[in-house]
Amino acid sequence: MSSEFLILAATAAGLGFIHTITGPDHYLPFIAISKTREWGMGKTLWFTALCGAGHILSSVLIGLAGIALGIALHQLTWFESVRGSIVSWLFTAAGLVYLVWGLRKAIRNKPHHHIHGHPDGTVHTHTHIHQDNHMHVHEKAEKKNVTPWVIFILFFFGPCEPLIPLVMYPALKNNVLHLAGVTLIFGLVTIGTMIAVVFAAMQGFRLIKLKESERYMHAIMGGTLLLCGLGMLVLGF
């Protein structure tokens, strides 16, 4: 194993970890959707890994296509920057729409009380939400929610900027093994970091009782996407 590959491998691992841990958009959406959809740990981590793989694959394909077409590194970097801006705006727009819808849903489902009297003189209060009366009608629709697919598409088209230079260097030298190794290491570290953060956060949430705020979970999901989009736009996450 050459020293050149060791340097590339260490760089790929370091960039994969830093790129992921400093970008809240790499894990916050999965934590939020898990709580909103009431997913188990396995499904949440599987979906996290799927989005992470799509996120990396798109940049690998663009990098290889750029090399095949003879496009310079600075041009690919510019293209990734533009792609990142578009996805950031889409993240922001999706989050804003979801936030408004979630708040509307939370307001409509606010628990309220009714006083019931009985012939024997007994009086008691009854608490309910209107959603319960229609849950059987919309139950299947809830299960077919498109939000996970929206998140996957945003991640697939979202750029993974540090990967382009890493892919191009060994590719330009026609070293397929180095190319495959660097891509694999970067991908495993990125996805592994995403899974680790999501797993730790979900374990922490299990210790916190959120029953009072359950009806706000969709609004929280929208707010999370909105903040991630704004973070990408303003801070360049």
203-229 pLDDT per residue, tens: 887 776 655 566 677 777 778 788 877
Residues 47 and 53: their CA atoms lie apart, in Å, by 10
Give the percent of the chain with pLDDT over 90: 15
Tell me whether strands 123-128 and 112-117 are parallel, antiparallel or unpaired: antiparallel
d(Cα 131, Cα 214) in Å, to the nearest integer? 13
Say if CB 62 and CB 161 are below 8 A apart: no
Is residue 168 within 8 Å of residue 76, measured between CB atoms? yes
Q: What is the pTM of this model?
A: 0.75
Q: In the prediction, which pLDDT does 154 show?
A: 84
Residue 63 placed within a domain: yes
Whether 115 has a pLDDT exceeding 90, the answer reads: no
83 falls within a domain: yes
Q: Write the pLDDT tens digit of every residue in 171-206.
A: 667 677 888 888 899 999 999 999 999 999 888 877
- The more confident residue out of 153 and 127 is 153
State yes or no: pLDDT of 107 exceeds 60.
yes
| Residues linked to residue 128 through DSSP beta bridges, in sequence order | 112
Burial class (CB in 10 A: 0-12, 13-18, 19+), 105: middle
118 pLDDT exceeds 70?
no
Tokens 């999901």: give the residue.
Answer: 221
Inter-residue contact 197 to 19 (CB < 8 Å): no
SS (H, E, C) the chain: CCHHHHHHHHHHHHHHHHHHHCCHHHCHHHHHHHHHHCCCHHHHHHHHHHHHHHHHHHHHHHHHHHHHCCCCHHHHHHHHHHHHHHHHHHHHHHHHHHHHHHHHHHHHCCCEEEEEECCCCCEEEEEECCHHHHHHHHHHHHHCCCHHHHHHHHHHHCCCCCHHHHHHHHHHCCCHHHHHHHHHHHHHHHHHHHHHHHHHHHHHHCCCCCHHHHHHHHHHHHHHHHHHHHHHHHCCC
Q: Is residue 200 part of a domain?
A: yes
Range of the domain at 181: 3-108+147-234
* pLDDT band (50, 70, 90) for residue 46: very high
Considering its fold, how many domains does the chain have in total? 1
Confidence of residue 51 (pLDDT cuts 50, 70, 90): very high
Mean pLDDT of 29-57: 89
The predicted structure's pLDDT at residue 215: 66
Q: Does residue 138 form part of some domain?
A: no
Amino acid 210: pLDDT: 59
Residue 130 lies inside a defined structural domain of this protein: no
Q: Is residue 156 situated within a structural domain?
A: yes
Average pLDDT along the chain: 77
Residue 167 has, within 13 A of its CA and on its CB side, a CA count of 27
Please determine, for residue 50, whether its predicted confidence score (pLDDT) is greater than 70.
yes
pLDDT tens sequence across 17-42: 998 998 888 888 898 888 888 888 99
pLDDT-based confidence at 140, cuts 50/70/90? very low
Q: Would residue 129 count as lying in a domain? A: no
Residue 122 is assigned to a structural domain of this protein = no
The residue that leads in pLDDT, 186 or 98, is 186
Instruction: Confirm if 219 and 227 have CB atoms less than 8 A apart.
Output: no
